[in-house]
Amino acid sequence: MAFSHPWVLWLLPLAILPLVLQRSHAKSYSWVNMLPKDPLSDLIGLILKILAVFTLLFIILGLAAPHTLTQKVERTGIGAQIALVLDRSASMDDPFSGSNDMSGNTTVGETKSVAAARLITDFVKSRKQDMFGMITFSNSAMYVLPLSENKKAVIAAVAATSGNALFQTNIGSGLTSSAGLFDKVPDSGSRAVILLSDGAGRVDADTQQKIKDWFDRLHISLYWIVLRQPGGLSIFNENYKPQENQPLPPEIELYEFFQTLKTPFKAYEAEDPKSLQSAMNDINEREKKAIKYLEKIPGRDYSNICFAIAAFMIGLLLGVKYLEVKTWH
């Protein structure tokens, strides 16, 4: 309990005025001793004085505006902060690798970027309580949208990813930028980066360390959706034998690096829109865990209650005034 204007409380002594000051409108009576003792009258007199005291008391209290302090209530809810990191390299405009029609022939189907945009739009629409941010990258990261609850902005941003692009894939830059999205935003308890790329690029050791530190510090989990190029290497291929005297292919290297992250990591490989969708669905399910957060509840203002009580008492006093004898002397 606190007061907005505590100095008004200095007026509280005024409340005993009705006890100190005598009522001036008292009728003069020749000899009060002649009046027999009447407990009921004395009681009413006392109650009226107390009523007057409390009326003043509550008015002064009301002027001092008492209120309770801000309370923090722990709430649970669903809601994640998700940064979308989309590959904008030119290869994204290629069709999916294994899109076969019913007859088994390879067909030119939906391009990767269009499928990705479509599915991400659906994903964004299905997640009502999430905050989305967006980074695209090709040869370097492009800051598109900070973490925001505005779904329209996200969908517009996703739609804007289509277009001409460059040929490089700078994943490291994209990831560090995405971590930067979370930097000044309060933690909702569920943070994820969805990295959507085809193929991979090499990430130098410094950037790797940076990514590892930031993801750990900001509690960001990573979902990596690899859109496999036709004939490309599968990161889940356990039979792959690294060639001697050759560096590891970038996909494998990146996959191994991501597995060393301290925060949760999950990789998906998508060869067609369907598998991409299942990957998105899986992420959808995973990021539905309940999150706990503290909600601030503003303090309650009691001055109106004080005034209401005072008004009620004044009403009572006025009622008594109505009962007052007017036809004497």
Q: Is 108 in the site for other proteins (CB under 8 A)?
A: no
Q: Which of 5, 10, 29, 274 binds other proteins (CB under 8 A)?
A: 29
Between 10 and 29, name the residue whose CB sits nearer to other proteins.
Answer: 29
1 binds other proteins (CB under 8 A): no
Between CA 82 and CA 193 the distance in angstroms is: 6
Q: Is 184 in the site for other proteins (CB under 8 A)?
A: no
35 belongs to the binding site for other proteins (CB under 8 A): yes
For residue 275, CA distances in Å to 86, 89, 236, 254, 298 come to 17, 21, 15, 21, 47
- Residue 313 CB, nearest approach to other proteins (Å): 16
Place of tokens 């299942």: 278
Least distance (Å) between residue 310 CB and other proteins? 21
In this chain, which of 41, 71, 107, 209 binds other proteins, going by CB under 8 A?
Answer: 41
Site string for other proteins, 47-86 (x = CB under 8 A): -x--------------------------------------
Q: Position of tokens 């410094």?
A: 206
Rounded to whole angstroms, how far apart are CA atoms 74 and 55? Answer: 39
Name the one range near other proteins by CB under 8 A: 31-39, 117-125, 135-143, 299-307. 31-39
Q: Is position 204 an interface residue for other proteins (rule: CB under 8 A)? A: no
Residues 6+ apart with CB under 8 A from 5: 63, 64, 65
**17 binds other proteins, rule: CB under 8 A:** no
- Residues 223 and 264 sit within 8 Å (Cβ to Cβ): no
Name which of 114, 129, 287, 275 is nearest 194 in CA terms.
287
Q: Distance between CA 124 and CA 151 in Å, rounded?
A: 7
Nearer to other proteins by Cβ, of 78 and 314: the residue is: 314
**Do 225 and 279 meet the contact criterion of CB atoms below 8 Å apart?**
yes
Least distance from other proteins to the Cβ atom of residue 14, Å: 20
Determine the interface stretch with other proteins among 2-10, 206-214, 279-287, 319-327 (rule: CB under 8 A).
Answer: 319-327
If one counts every other C-beta atom within 10 angstroms of the C-beta of residue 311, the result is 14
Q: Give the C-alpha separation, 219 to 151, whole Å.
A: 23
Determine which residue in the list 36, 104, 186, 231 makes contact with other proteins, applying CB under 8 A.
36
| Of 38, 183, 187, 216, the one binding other proteins by CB under 8 A | 38
**133's tokens:** 């941010």
Q: Which residue, 51 or 78, has its beta carbon nearer to other proteins?
A: 51
How many residues line the site for other proteins (CB under 8 A)? 29
Stretch that binds other proteins, among 32-40, 113-121, 251-259, 279-287 (CB under 8 A): 32-40
Q: DSSP letters along 132-192, please?
A: EEEEEESSSEEEEEEEES-HHHHHHHHHTT-S---S---HHHHHHHHHHHTTTSPP-S-EE
Q: Quick one: which of 27, 152, 241, 296 contacts other proteins (CB under 8 A)? A: 27
Query: Alpha carbon of 233 to those of 200, 220, 229, 241, 270: distances in Å?
Result: 11, 27, 8, 11, 12
Evaluate whether 169 touches 203 at the Cβ level (below 8 Å): no
Binding segment for other proteins (CB under 8 A), chosen from 83-91, 213-221, 279-287, 317-325, is 317-325
User: Nearest distance from residue 329's CB to other proteins, in Å?
Assistant: 6
The residue within the footprint of other proteins, chosen from 26, 69, 108, 318 (CB under 8 A), is 26
Task: State the residues that interact with other proteins by CB under 8 A.
Answer: 22-23, 25-36, 38, 40-42, 44-45, 48, 320, 323-329
